[in-house]
Structure 1
Amino acid sequence: MFILADDMGFGDFGVFNGGQSSTPQLDDLSGISRLYSQHTSASPVCAPARAALLTGRYPQRTGVIDTLEARGTDRLALDEFTIADAFSRAGAVTGLVGKWHCGAIGEPYHPLKRGFDEFIGFRGGWQDYWDWTLERNRTPVQADGRYLTDVLGDEAVGFIRRHKHERFFLHVSFNAPHFPYQAPEELIGQHRRTGRTERVAVIYAMIAVMDRAIGRIRQAISDAGLDDDTLIVVTSDNGPELGGDGEESADRWNVGLRGAKQHVFEGGIRLPLVLSQPGVVAAGEDDTFIHLTDWYPSLLTHAGVTPVGSKVLDGRDISGSFTGGTVDDVPRCWQWSRYHPMPTSNAAIRDGRWKLVHPAAAGTLGLTDRDEWIDHDIKRHPENYAQPIDEESPGWPAVGTEPMLFDLAADPEEAHDLAAVHPDVRARLATALHAWYEDVELDRARLVST
């Protein structure tokens, strides 16, 4: 079971923030699980991160380069195989509950065409938490007064009960605490504090509802007698969204990490990770460096399932760490800019203790007013978007930013730029990052040409 939160940071767990948020289920699960402190996303934004999780490949290779479903930049290439494909072909029942965001437009990109036997959720990037529209295996389901996170929790419980006598892979993809910021009023009231903004109170209330849903899922597993047979993974797709003014500020503690969602500093890509299977996974803390692409080969190995297809995976098997074994580090890279990639804006490489970062160039992460309007309109009127819109996207400057260099072992907050102190390390990592970018862009170019 892979439970994925949306825009949740390390600091959003009560066990990590001194009880500022209320997450008793996650806190309890953390106490009996393996906790990974060096787990990173494959992207600082939703859709590319999810593509990497599903395929074990850098998102650029899969064609998923952005979150704009109306433009089709969230579409997972049709020649990619997903982890659901692999489990399904091995005889497991596969289910997706919640957010898809790997192809909102077009029947070939539907989750039921990408390895999932059952789907109850939404295909785009977000939904209103009260006035939602979902689909159950292509049949529309309209809002019924319940809060969306509660609905998704109930659906996950239903899947477990239906399939408790079968092998299954269930991906529970919550949309909390992603925008829009909405929660039951009584829970918002419980999280209001002096010195805390209204936005943060709402976010913590959203997380509390999700935590409650995770508790119901855990109870359903226990009631089915599946505790010892079920591997549970809980993480997020990218770091938290911070910023805003006054009472609309989402700024909150995130264990001192620099940056937030959209940025390739640690605050945008470092993710909490809880891994549990009693009697199989060794509880305790683990500093193994894990990338979101690693889950595809690792979960399949753990379950004794063979990968599907012949494409080379970027992820590597880290399942040996589940029982306390060591896994060697490999260099990892990131890049994201709005609309289309840019090699020296919001790009990074990590190799061991060293991390090279090209900060985001001015303007390269933002949306045009029209695209922001369309991103809301497609949620309300998906019937108007039978095909992705074909409009020219903004161009970015040819020159990006100068790289910064950080020693993460000594400076996990990325506060001290050592590029001038270690020019040899800077040059080596810059060369490696450029080579990676050229490699993944070559794969993407093949997709664009076909």
Structure 2
Amino acid sequence: MSKKVSLRKRPNILFILADDMGYGDFSLFNKGLSHTPALDQLTREGICLTQHYAGSPVCAPSRASLITGRYPHRTGAIDTLEGRGLDRLSLKEVTLADVLKSEGYATGIIGKWHLGALDPRYHPNARGFDEFVGFRGGWQDYYRWRLDYNGVFRKADGRYLTDVFTEEAIKFLRRHKDEPFFLHLTYNAPHFPLQVPEEEVKPFLEKGKFTRGVCLIYGMIQRMDRGIGHILEELRTLKLEKNTILLFTSDNGPQFGGEGQMCTTRFNYDFRGCKGNVYEGGIRVPMILRWPDGFDGGRYVDEMIHFVDWFPTLLAACGLKVPKNIKLDGQNMLPILQGEKKKYQKKRFWQWNRYTPILTSNAAMRDGDWKLVRPPIPETLLVSPADADMDRALKYEPEKFNDICRDPEPERKIPSPPAAQLFNLAEDPFEEKDLAPEYPDKVERMLRELERWFEEVERERRTIKE
């Protein structure tokens, strides 16, 4: 058998990542509040994971864990502030694209990168992706966009950004239909700024049930869903549907907040919390996957799967091994997805705050059904006014910057942390009853494990000298 024929039999991977979207944003799960027919159909045809977790409650760290199979602290990508380089994926990290490219896959990323800007060493083309169309920071204007096409910049031409990414994805599929490919399609919808053609907003405004902010988000999701529908049709046309592993998820939970008509707080399956915190609403995210040649569809899978698990799982699905020099936190969950019974790691960890990580704020551990939470300390989640101004300027005046800000972190007064909380998610998935007072020994044990994990990943992060 020739190498070309052998490669062709390997499955393609189309990994679609939305930005700040929750379970409650699917019309299938919210009784028609939104309108997501393509995603709803995918859910019916494929596998829906009910306990799927992002790597972090915010963008960049979560994406780092997804693409490396490692906890974000290890990778150096600890925050969203690209102006300070806190989103940079360490150059020592090996990405999923690196491995697949070395095995003959065509690799591309279209959309949001957010794992290093302002330095060509962190460009997607240097991190395993043959092709890149998108932006490297945390967000982008949907009309006044400036996109990087493999290092060449193009300015907005009147098209809506979500549509641009859909069109570029379809072009990628056509270019690579005769070879195995890995396409990471990273829509920035429905992330801020809340912008979408008014015809997408009107149906939701007419319902009279939502703020304008929620209507804008539902409109943005509807537009993205329509694009996904076009991509699904293209896969059928190109006869790629059966041997393509298609995955859809979000980098973290939905963004809530805002005032008056621009408030974005909405239904999210009654999970506690939202983007930015480690309660379920911030880290438990939808995952729909379909692979007709490899999975029986029409199923729900209840086992816990974390972003770090996709690196080894997708390699296994492609018949490939994890390189020996990589130390992963993830595990191969392919047998679980194929309906087999398998023992797997049931302990997982999260932690995030602004600037240097602080264990006592916004951290969590899952051990089977039990979840320990160190609640967020609000003072640790604030961005300085200067950094907020720089973040906006990077999007609209990028030519003013040629390096990250290397000033000391802003000074902060951090108060004593609140008491740890304990929840049994099997009995209380919405984290309504804190059981810490009833199980002090369990709390103490889990706190020690969380501390050991944090010390280990932080020790590795501190070895990064870039």
Residue 313, structure 1, aligned to residue 309, structure 2: no
| 3-state secondary structure, aligned to 2:462 | helix
Bigger shift: residues 99-108 or 390-399: 390-399
**1:381-400 residue pairs with structure 2 within 5 A?**
381-394=397-410, 395-397=412-414, 399-400=416-417
CA deviation map 1:223-264 (0-9, x unaligned): 111111100000000000011111011011000100000000
Match of 1:266 among 270, 280, 291: 280
Measure, in 2, the Cα distance between the counterparts of 1:54 and 1:263: 21
Question: Residue type matched to 2:145 in 1?
Answer: W
**1:149-228 residue pairs with structure 2 within 5 A?**
149-192=162-205, 193-228=207-242
User: In structure 1, what is the equivalent of residue 158 of structure 2?
Assistant: 145
User: In structure 2, what is the equivalent of residue 358 of structure 1?
Assistant: 374
User: In structure 2, what is the equivalent of residue 37 of structure 1?
Assistant: 50
Question: Conserved in 2, the CA contact under 8 Å of 1:86 and 1:305?
Answer: no
CA deviation map 1:28-82 (0-9, x unaligned): 1111010000000110000000000010000000000100000000110001000
Bigger shift: residues 263-272 or 183-192: 183-192
Question: Conserved in 2, the CA contact under 8 Å of 1:294 and 1:315?
Answer: yes
Question: Conserved in 2, the CA contact under 8 Å of 1:288 and 1:326?
Answer: no
User: In structure 2, what is the equivalent of residue 255 of structure 1?
Assistant: 269
Residue 436, structure 1, aligned to residue 453, structure 2: yes
Aligned length: 449
Measure, in 1, the Cα distance between the counterparts of 2:373 and 2:54: 15
User: By how many angstroms is 1:370 displaced?
Assistant: 1.2
| 3-state secondary structure, aligned to 1:231 | strand
| 3-state secondary structure, aligned to 1:271 | coil
Question: Conserved in 2, the CA contact under 8 Å of 1:264 and 1:357?
Answer: yes
Structure 1 residue runs of 4 or more that deviate by more than 4 Å after TM superposition: none
Question: Conserved in 2, the CA contact under 8 Å of 1:332 and 1:349?
Answer: yes
| 3-state secondary structure, aligned to 1:98 | strand
**1:30-69 residue pairs with structure 2 within 5 A?**
30-69=43-82
Task: Please list every run of 5 or more consecutive structure 2 residues that lacks an aligned counterpart in the other structure.
Answer: 1-13
Question: Residue type matched to 1:442 in 2?
Answer: R
| 3-state secondary structure, aligned to 2:170 | helix
Bigger shift: residues 377-386 or 324-333: 324-333
Match of 1:230 among 241, 244, 261: 244
Measure, in 1, the Cα distance between the counterparts of 2:324 and 2:404: 28
Residue 336, structure 1, aligned to residue 349, structure 2: no
Residue 120, structure 1, aligned to residue 133, structure 2: yes
User: By how many angstroms is 1:306 displaced?
Assistant: 2.9
TM-score of the pair, normalised by structure 2: 0.95
| 3-state secondary structure, aligned to 1:447 | coil
User: By how many angstroms is 1:281 displaced?
Assistant: 1.2
Measure, in 1, the Cα distance between the counterparts of 2:172 and 2:109: 10
User: In structure 2, what is the equivalent of residue 445 of structure 1?
Assistant: 462
User: In structure 2, what is the equivalent of residue 292 of structure 1?
Assistant: 307
Measure, in 2, the Cα distance between the counterparts of 1:215 and 1:44: 28
Residue 76, structure 1, aligned to residue 89, structure 2: yes
Question: Conserved in 2, the CA contact under 8 Å of 1:94 and 1:118?
Answer: yes
Question: Residue type matched to 1:184 in 2?
Answer: P
Question: Conserved in 1, the CA contact under 8 Å of 2:301 and 2:337?
Answer: no
Measure, in 1, the Cα distance between the counterparts of 2:217 and 2:261: 12
Match of 1:322 among 320, 337, 340: 337
User: By how many angstroms is 1:399 displaced?
Assistant: 3.6
Task: Please list every run of 5 or more consecutive structure 1 residues that lacks an aligned counterpart in the other structure.
Answer: none
User: In structure 2, what is the equivalent of residue 135 of structure 1?
Assistant: 148
| 3-state secondary structure, aligned to 2:308 | helix
Bigger shift: residues 241-250 or 91-100: 241-250
Question: Conserved in 2, the CA contact under 8 Å of 1:81 and 1:308?
Answer: no
